[in-house]
Structure 1
């Protein structure tokens, strides 16, 4: 199943719904969607959900809170095999993180070992997250999501670079914090930078 083109808001909503369904086992309420994604009202969240249903990436079911992912989309989001995860190496500038050219290999790792489940592994380069126990060469288990809360370690795209940092909201600023005093925090200015969250850190694999 090919996914239709989504706006940034629709993609964030779909990612939030996917994560919520995987971790909670039921869909979120409109209030939870609005609160998590900063919608101005429940009706705005409702309109976005309806647009996802129209585009075929979300379905209604007769149960309470009746939303679900279509079977084809749900299986494609889980990856190519039940016990495999794609290993992402260096990410080509401007390409989606799970684009074929970024995938080094498929590793036999059960995604369900992590909570929430992992969608891919990212090879860590450098020591900017050393004090969080994330070292150069480690394989970072990442849950694919476009949203994260304050203090979580995320995989973020800043312009054409992909980086692993701790997310922090400081008044009107957005900061990407290293876990190593040798590195400076990165301040994200939406007027100058293209910024997106690609996923959330859920575990580490270290080869000895």
Structure 2
């Protein structure tokens, strides 16, 4: 298999993780959503590049027609799950979390240090979660999911703003709770306002160390 670019390696890793977690490879649309591509064409271009390099085989006319070839899967497994997890800095207004504009860098990180394995790191800004031990500059390990349970620390999007708070829902009313008395809870009526859960915290990295969120 020819050497992959960092982005191609990320997509191959995503395909392998999706297959392991869901029993099937992702669709083109799921790849577009996961990486914040502007169109399905961008995802298709990367898939065709992976096919040319001998990493995958594409089956025409099938929505999940992506087959990872044995050599590519073996190389990815030997490399471990630590490669190239994206670090999100300030999220570009109106853009998906994993859009290129939002990615500061890529870190080598063993995803198995956390459970479940994170999909991205988010650089924390502000002091609103201070008493939960989440401080400015920390890297929050986040598992992508559109749903959350009461008490979980989530990454939530309200309009063009992204915030880290503890989730609490009763019926159609949601409160995003800070862990600092200097900050007020954010109240959302889901019948009138849109709230998007981008993911939930699964761990924290500070000064080269790891802890569970």
Whether TM-score is above 0.5 comes out as yes
Unmatched segments (≥5 aa) in structure 2: 1-17, 25-60, 209-213
Aligned length: 145
Contact 2:174-2:188 within 8 A present in 1 as well: yes
Task: Let me know the Cα RMSD of the aligned residues.
Answer: 2.8
Q: Deviations over 1:134-177 (max 9, x none)?
A: 00110000001111111100000011101000100134411111
TM-score, scaled relative to structure 1: 0.62
Q: Are 1:56 and 2:55 an aligned pair? A: no
* Relative contact order, higher structure (CA 8 A, sep 6+): 1
How far apart in 2 are the matches of 1:194 and 1:129? 22
The verdict on how the C-alpha distance between 1:128 and 1:109 changes in structure 2, with shifts beyond 3 A counting, is same
Q: Are 1:141 and 2:135 an aligned pair? A: no
Counterpart residue number, 1:130:
130
Q: Considering only CA atoms, is the larger Rg found in Structure 1 or Structure 2?
A: 2
Query: How many Å apart are 1:189 and its aligned residue?
Result: 2.4
The verdict on how the C-alpha distance between 1:207 and 1:26 changes in structure 2, with shifts beyond 3 A counting, is same
Query: How many Å apart are 1:112 and its aligned residue?
Result: 1.6
TM-score, scaled relative to structure 2: 0.60
Deviates more, 1:138-147 or 1:191-200: 191-200
Counterpart residue number, 2:169:
169
Counterpart secondary structure, 1:101: helix
Structure 1 moving runs of 4+ over 4 Å: none
The verdict on how the C-alpha distance between 1:111 and 1:180 changes in structure 2, with shifts beyond 3 A counting, is same
Query: How many Å apart are 1:82 and its aligned residue?
Result: 3.1
